[in-house]
Chains A and B, each alone.
Chain A
């Protein structure tokens, strides 16, 4: 099947520390998980490569500290990566390693091509702005100046994520965790981004709220055909959302495949442990 990925990630690398000859070798005895005992460098993301295809949900699973979030933050330009290449197949961007673009160009991508939903809504929302103001902020950042159209779009988005319109002027700090998460999703979707990153979006939410957020994400995928990267340590969440998944450990991809294959026929020792631990 000849299909062009919408995002191609190649040899992504992120280390905290300078590194030393000892820890450049992945098999080095100085490495304790992803920490170098010789120079103190943490190799948060090591040589990560993958493709994201149009309209698909790609799951990324792994334990805390496996590098999932660091990688996602790198893709969203929240933090600089040490090395690697990211290509986005969108008009005007094809063929450029977006990690090397100017900060102005990166801002354009963040505002128009990417959407991000953080685990902690504090990172994605201004808690003391109104909910609709939060959404408008993202649209203004993308160059929209028409108050009427922004208000209309904001209301439509809030309705889609099941926030009662009478509460649109309220600040997210008054909202429950699940509602905050839904405002965040509305904000992330405001400029119709073709690519959406979701970082542990259901973690810490009670089951019933989790179900409504999952349902919302699935609906967005079905109706808007947005490509998504869903990071979660919760295999059940990944099973519900993702067709394909990647398993990370100590900053590296140790296994990837169809999600049901990873859950029913895990190949790597760590993935097997993970699956045995499923409730």
Chain B
């Protein structure tokens, strides 16, 4: 049973001051079953992020359908869904992690993770416990818990970012190169958490440049170059 089905997705950007329309992706087609990990491979600028952002509705797609099987709404086209429905899904079902941390200023690392849970309606106590667990898992030094992320290192910011998204245990998690600037050990931590989420039934769509990282982790691969889905990483390189 597929949880996400993308049909004929197309997106172009109209740049008014250049009087130009720049095509980004066209006729994208794939589907994922619940609990699977789909890796999107392709070179920079091939439209990988555009696909993820279209699913998360940060971009407004021009064509196609993105059918998502929601707990709350049943089968719903994410392109046609109302803004309020999308906001609900983002809070409760669909997560998105990029390499950029964008958070409220002067909010501590610990509060940020807790707030993600409080927004879902968790109790204060659960939020506190789960937040500590997540921060411990990602080896965030406890001396950082009560400080503000603005001065964190790149790796610390990333780990916080991933902690904030994964602590909510989303049904569908979109990973937009979240490990791009992490060292091997931190990447491994991310992989561990992804494996754990998979075990719990989370469906994942991810972009990673690191093929080694993807190996044994993704069930399916979508190749931007051929616009096709395959079941193995064989023959796919991100240089494409």
- Interface residue? B59 (CB, 8 A): yes
CA distance A268 to B104 in the complex (A): 27
B22 to chain A, nearest CB (A): 12
- Interface residue? B231 (CB, 8 A): no
Cβ–Cβ < 8 Å partners of B87 in chain A: 56, 243-244, 258
Partner of A212, one of B15, B83, B86, B106: B106
Q: How many residues of B contact A (CB 8 A)?
A: 26
A223 to chain B, nearest CB (A): 9
Instruction: Across the interface, name the chain A residue whose C-beta is closest to B106.
Output: A211
| Bitwise interface map of A from 223 to 253 toward B, beta carbon under 8 Å scored 1, else 0 | 0000000000000000110011000000000
B20 to chain A, nearest CB (A): 12
A94 to chain B, nearest CB (A): 20
A177 to chain B, nearest CB (A): 17
Contact A1 B88 (CB under 8 A): yes
Complex interface residues of chain B between 8 and 26 (CB less than 8 A to chain A): 13-17
Complex interface residues of chain A between 48 and 103 (CB less than 8 A to chain B): 53, 56
Contact A269 B104 (CB under 8 A): no
Cβ–Cβ < 8 Å partners of A244 in chain B: 83-84, 87
Cβ–Cβ < 8 Å partners of B187 in chain A: none
Contact A257 B83 (CB under 8 A): yes
Contact B104 A222 (CB under 8 A): no
Contact A1 B85 (CB under 8 A): yes
Partner of B15, one of A56, A207, A211, A272: A272
A264 to chain B, nearest CB (A): 5
Instruction: Across the interface, name the chain A residue whose C-beta is closest to B11.
Output: A265
| Bitwise interface map of B from 78 to 90 toward A, beta carbon under 8 Å scored 1, else 0 | 0000111111100
Contact B60 A261 (CB under 8 A): yes
- Interface residue? B216 (CB, 8 A): no
Contact A265 B59 (CB under 8 A): yes
- Interface residue? A215 (CB, 8 A): yes
- Interface residue? B57 (CB, 8 A): yes
Cβ–Cβ < 8 Å partners of A260 in chain B: 58
Contact B84 A265 (CB under 8 A): no
Cβ–Cβ < 8 Å partners of B85 in chain A: 1
Most B-side CB within 10 Å, residue of A1, A264, A267? A1
Cβ–Cβ < 8 Å partners of B118 in chain A: 222
Contact A265 B58 (CB under 8 A): yes
Contact A261 B119 (CB under 8 A): no
Cβ–Cβ < 8 Å partners of A243 in chain B: 83, 87
- Interface residue? B115 (CB, 8 A): yes
| Bitwise interface map of A from 253 to 279 toward B, beta carbon under 8 Å scored 1, else 0 | 000011011001101110011000000
Contact B106 A258 (CB under 8 A): no
Contact A215 B15 (CB under 8 A): no
CA distance A226 to B86 in the complex (A): 20
- Interface residue? A22 (CB, 8 A): no
- Interface residue? B53 (CB, 8 A): yes
- Interface residue? A208 (CB, 8 A): yes
Cβ–Cβ < 8 Å partners of B104 in chain A: 211, 214-215, 218, 240
- Interface residue? A3 (CB, 8 A): yes
Partner of B82, one of A1, A265, A269: A1
Complex interface residues of chain B between 54 and 68 (CB less than 8 A to chain A): 57-60
Contact A261 B58 (CB under 8 A): yes
User: Told that A258-B83, A260-B58, A272-B16 touch, could you supply 16 new A-B pairs with CB distance under 8 A?
Assistant: A56-B84, A207-B105, A208-B106, A212-B106, A215-B105, A215-B107, A218-B104, A243-B83, A257-B60, A258-B87, A261-B57, A261-B60, A264-B59, A267-B60, A269-B16, A269-B17
A-B contact pairs, 14 of them (CB 8 A): A1-B82, A1-B84, A1-B85, A3-B84, A239-B102, A240-B104, A244-B83, A257-B60, A258-B86, A260-B58, A261-B59, A267-B14, A267-B60, A272-B15
Interchain residue pairs A-B with the least CB separation, the first 7: A269-B16, A211-B106, A211-B105, A265-B59, A260-B58, A1-B85, A243-B87
Where the two chains meet, the residues of A that have a C-beta atom closer than 8 Å to any C-beta of B are: 1, 3, 53, 56, 207-208, 210-212, 214-215, 218, 222, 239-240, 243-244, 257-258, 260-261, 264-265, 267-269, 272-273
